[in-house]
């Protein structure tokens, strides 16, 4: 890195101070976790009680829609709630088409498998997925790829952690999909929603807290634009 690129100690301190809050925001926070767990919890609870696929599926989809409406009413970001609705809707459609209640969980399991592989593959290709996700959050975009090697290494470690955790989760869930009944699979899925996620977020925080501070490319662009305007003003005054 050049002297311009090298993060200062003050920037390093500021980066550590905001990393936790940024991660919390990027991954949805407490409300995002509730929105992730609640539809599946409602589905397996109702199905455990009455074994009614239609009632369980409709209740799960309804609560997902309610969560979106609440977000809209509070004028809050809806990306996490909308992603939950789409995930539940795919599960509902799939289960209704096959008539197998376990298939309510299959789209989400396949998504988890694909995401776990994406974390590993993108890191092997030199573009760790977690860096693509968090780069805009830290206002560094892709500057970490060429200008901040320490940060790129941290993103690689974090992506490997996410990929390993998600694939380990799949190693538990897919055998249960074939061998366990719907309620057993459902309760295990609910139990595995939050702890692996929190572990991955915590490891990401650990890696990034020890990494160099991000290079604020937006601030650089603003500074360059300001300097250009000052040069133009000086040129006009000189004439």
Domain range for 54 is: 9-238
Ranges assigned E (strand) in the chain: none
Asked whether residue 3 is assigned to any structural domain, the reply reads no
According to the model, what pLDDT value does residue 102 have? Answer: 93
- Residue 85: per-residue pLDDT: 78
At 77, phi and psi to the nearest 5? -65, 140
- The pLDDT score that the predictor gives to residue 137 is 84
The answer to the question of residue 2 being in a domain is no
Answer whether residue 180 is part of any domain: yes
Residue 41 is assigned to a structural domain of this protein: yes
The span from the CA of 93 to the CA of 177, in Å, is 18
Mean pLDDT by 10 residues, the chain (239 residues): 48 57 68 83 93 92 86 69 78 91 94 96 96 88 91 96 97 95 94 92 90 83 74 68
**Residues 6+ away with beta carbon under 8 Å from 129:** 118, 119, 122, 123, 159, 162
pLDDT of residue 3: 44
- The total number of structural domains in the chain stands at 1
The helix/strand count (H/E) of the chain reads as 11, 0
d(CA 53, CA 63): 16
SS3 at position 125: coil
Residue written as tokens 């609640």?
A: 38
Q: Is residue 230 part of a domain?
A: yes
User: What is the reported pTM?
Assistant: 0.82
């Amino acid at each position: 890195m050049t002297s311009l690129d090298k993060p200062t100690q003050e920037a390093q301190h500021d980066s550590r101070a905001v990393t936790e809050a940024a991660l919390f925001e990027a991954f949805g926070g407490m409300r995002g976790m509730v929105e992730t767990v609640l539809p599946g919890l409602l589905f397996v609870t109702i199905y455990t009680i009455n074994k009614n696929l239609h009632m369980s599926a409709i209740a799960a989809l309804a609560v997902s829609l309610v969560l979106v409406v609440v977000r809209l009413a509070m004028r809050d970001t809806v990306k996490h709630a909308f992603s939950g609705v789409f995930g539940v809707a795919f599960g509902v459609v799939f289960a209704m088409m096959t008539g197998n209640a376990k298939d309510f969980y299959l789209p989400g399991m396949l998504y988890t498998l694909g995401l776990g592989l994406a974390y590993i593959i993108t890191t092997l290709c030199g573009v760790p997925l977690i860096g693509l996700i968090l780069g805009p959050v830290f206002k560094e975009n892709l500057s970490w790829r060429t200008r901040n090697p320490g940060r790129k290494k941290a993103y690689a470690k974090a992506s490997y952690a996410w990929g390993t955790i998600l694939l380990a989760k799949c190693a538990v869930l897919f055998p249960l999909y074939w061998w366990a009944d719907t309620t057993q699979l459902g309760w295990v899925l609910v139990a595995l929603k939050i702890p692996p996620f929190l572990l991955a977020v915590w490891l990401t925080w650990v890696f990034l807290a020890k990494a160099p501070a991000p290079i604020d490319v937006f601030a650089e662009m603003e500074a360059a634009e300001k300097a250009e305007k000052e040069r133009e003003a000086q040129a006009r005054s000189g004439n």
